[in-house]
Structure 1
């Protein structure tokens, strides 16, 4: 009998057949399973040889690395991650990935495991948004594992599972914004107004210095933000993206409030912070919410909302005022159109205004006969 060109086949004492081959690394390996028939073992060897010749062969031992070890290295090796992103990845990994996948080998994590894990998260009360974030992190880790030739395919294959579908954020009226500004501690009145009409994030507001605000030009220059990082406290960092560095024009409506605030409450000097706490130090979001925000909402007769909803309100007002997508992107500090598009739906009042203008335009053209086609008169009944 002629010797096989690739691999070997032998019958075991159980009567089943075993296939073995030498991989590109010259390590002799058996097939992961035995076969009922000799022909099946030979077919498996033909397929394995084809993988090697096509350059598709994966070291079956490579995927034995434990997910816990690989995921930690993956996070540590990401270049240029912002501190808050690292903090988010650590949180998602520790709470939502490690308990299920931590002890498993990469190669042992299959599609069914991922589907069951995602369902368990949702069933146990983890929000849809957090679940989507955790799923995206898991998928990104496995994308790299595929590139590293540790696994053949990514087991995260649930369509739409990584998409966040956050509920619509509340939008305040201008009257409600001013009711809140009137109700809150006086030192935070300008914070509420600039957060709304400047569409600024909390960290961007608390990171502002005197030299960042030009009261005569009516502009605010955003160059940094003040954020809390676990284990480090409050830290000044650059904005979330390159587009986050921007100059925002604020309406004349709030100029006097800003001028009075800087005079009465801001730290001294060009580098002095604009918004500070009662102790004249950097403003902590947690302290602000606990001591001032909740009481102001109650006093203003408003439902529970987050400070970030002021930015959402400002973006909506800017869109309703006619800002284009490009202008919204510049104002918000975004480099993509996705977020700006949210505000293009407009309010009911804005839609009515547009419809009324369209009605007037159409009627005017019909009346003057400048339209391409006159409105057809209804036929009289014969």
Structure 2
């Protein structure tokens, strides 16, 4: 440590070598502060937790580098990049030095985002920032993450009210003839819209009564890509009502040369926006259904029908292509039929063959 006196003012220079062997220094007005700082630096170096105090990397600079290095599917990469640019770069947090951000600043940032985002979207965004800082800790750009104990508004998920069979039929009738089988197929197989648009003729096995979900068409694309998750690649039972609709559809509108099952009149695959926003939304209005209804409600319809018929939660999760049954329970648990009667019957049946059960005659033991 060096002591310097300039213009009558004494300063103490704490000197050390960083983990790369470079000479570093920092000035303090008091010797005790310089000593304490050096001890902290030495301890961090020994633990392998040294952070360069001169690093000027900003939050947005590191966030972009972090996102570029992630192994994401194209759709996920676009979504993450969009969140970073809109909700980090576009805020005061983005230009802050990565290592200088305080928990209170993260809280203020989250409160600001809460004014423009739903509670669920905000939680996902805070989770993204938490992941970015977790990586920064590993890269030793920060000593600890400031994304801790962030107070967020409660997320109240509205209960799903699934479409009835009658409402789905009304929707089918309101669709252009070329698109009617698409509604029946999505409602009868529980497909995501991308999976519906990506279906090929070869995926339909009328003999074995199965449909293989192998690909999807992602938003802003007309090219097939891998499904959303590993579990999304699945085989789904083909109900007769769907088989009949597909047979009728193929008789009128043969599959495209590449096997695409549902095509425009020009033989091209549908885009998410054109089918979901233009065609589907128009049919919803014609059918007199709530304007909030989207093609995803047909997937909810599928799940609700299976649960109402006593299909297990695990089986429903597999049919929908979910990673586990927890999402099915949290999303559709309120739709499961009342099990009280089944519980009573199970106990009564088990005791039906037992001898008469002694009744209480008022004797104390």
TM-score (norm 1): 0.83
Seen in structure 2, the aligned counterparts of structure 1 residues 47 and 10 have a Cα distance that, compared at 3 Å, is farther
Report the more deviating stretch, 102-111 or 305-314: 102-111
How far 1:19 sits from its partner (Å)? 4.5
Residue in structure 1 matching 2:159, options 165, 168, 187 = 168
Distance in 2 separating the partners of 1:294 and 1:276: 18
Q: Are 1:209 and 1:273, in contact at CA under 8 Å, matched by a contact in 2?
A: yes
Match of 1:277 among 264, 268, 278: 264
Corresponding residue number in structure 1 for 2:17: 23
Match of 2:60?
Answer: 68
Deviation at 1:155, TM superposition (A): 1.2
- Whether contact under 8 Å (2:162, 2:300) holds in the other structure is yes
Moved more, 218-227 or 101-110: 101-110
Which residues in structure 2 correspond to 1:330-345 (within 5 Å)? 330-342=318-330, 345=333
Q: Is the 8 A contact 2:195 2:227 kept in 1?
A: yes
Moved more, 301-310 or 174-183: 174-183
Deviations 1:45-72 (A, max 9, x none): 333333333333222123x112232222
Residue 219 (structure 1) aligns with = 210
Aligned residues of 2:256 and 2:263 also touching (Cα < 8 A):
no
The alignment status of 1:108 with 2:92, answered yes or no, reads no
Aligned equivalents of 1:160, 1:16: Cα separation in 2:
44
- Answering whether residue 49 of structure 2 is matched by residue 56 of structure 1, we say yes
Residue 361 to residue 47, structure 1, CA distance change in 2 (3 Å): closer
Alignment of 1:240-279 (within 5 A): 240-268=228-256, 271-279=258-266
Question: Aligned in 2, Cα 1:55/1:361: closer, same or farther, shift over 3 Å?
Answer: closer
Contact 1:319/1:346 (CA < 8 Å) preserved in 2?
A: no
**For 1:1-382, what aligned pairs fall within 5 Å after superposition?**
7-8=1-2, 18-24=12-18, 25-30=21-26, 34-35=29-30, 38-62=31-55, 64-79=56-71, 81-100=72-91, 101-123=93-115, 125-159=116-150, 166-229=157-220, 233-268=221-256, 271-304=258-291, 305-342=293-330, 345-347=333-335, 350-351=337-338, 354-365=339-350, 368=352, 370=354, 374=357
Which consecutive aligned stretches of 4+ in structure 1 deviate over 6 angstroms post-superposition? none
Q: Which SS does the other structure have where 2:211 is aligned?
A: strand
Shift of 1:28: 3.0
* C-alpha separation in 2, matches of 1:175 and 1:310: 12
Q: For the Cα contact (< 8 Å) 1:206–1:282, is it kept in 2?
A: yes
Structure 1 residues not aligned, in runs of 5+:
1-6
Counterpart-to-counterpart distance in 1, 2:39 and 2:286: 77
State the 1:310 CA deviation.
0.9
Q: Secondary structure at the residue paired with 2:144?
A: coil
Give the secondary-structure state (helix, strand or coil) at the position aligned to 2:96: coil
Gap change, CA 1:376 and 1:342, over 3 Å in 2: farther
Q: String of CA shifts for 1:144-197, please: whole Å, max 9, x gaps.
A: 110000000111113575997643333111222222122222222221111112
Offset of 1:248 from its aligned partner?
A: 0.7
Aligned residues: 359
Q: Cα–Cα, structure 1 residues 14 and 180, in superposed 2: closer, same or farther, change >3 Å?
A: farther
Structure 2 Cα separation of the partners of residues 94 and 44 of structure 1 = 36
1:343, distance to aligned residue in structure 2 (A): 5.2
The offset of 1:221, in angstroms, is 0.9
For each residue in 1:305-349, what CA deviation from the matched residue of structure 2 results, as whole angstroms up to 9, or x when unmatched? 11111112212222332333332232112233332333562526x
The 1-side partners of 2:61 and 2:331 are apart by 42
User: In the superposition, relative to structure 1, how do residues 164 and 261 fare at CA in structure 2: closer, same or farther (>3 Å)?
Assistant: farther
Q: What RMSD, in angstroms, separates the aligned Cα atoms of the two structures? A: 2.9
Q: Summarize the Cα distance change of 1:289–1:331 in structure 2 as closer, same or farther, 3 Å threshold.
A: closer
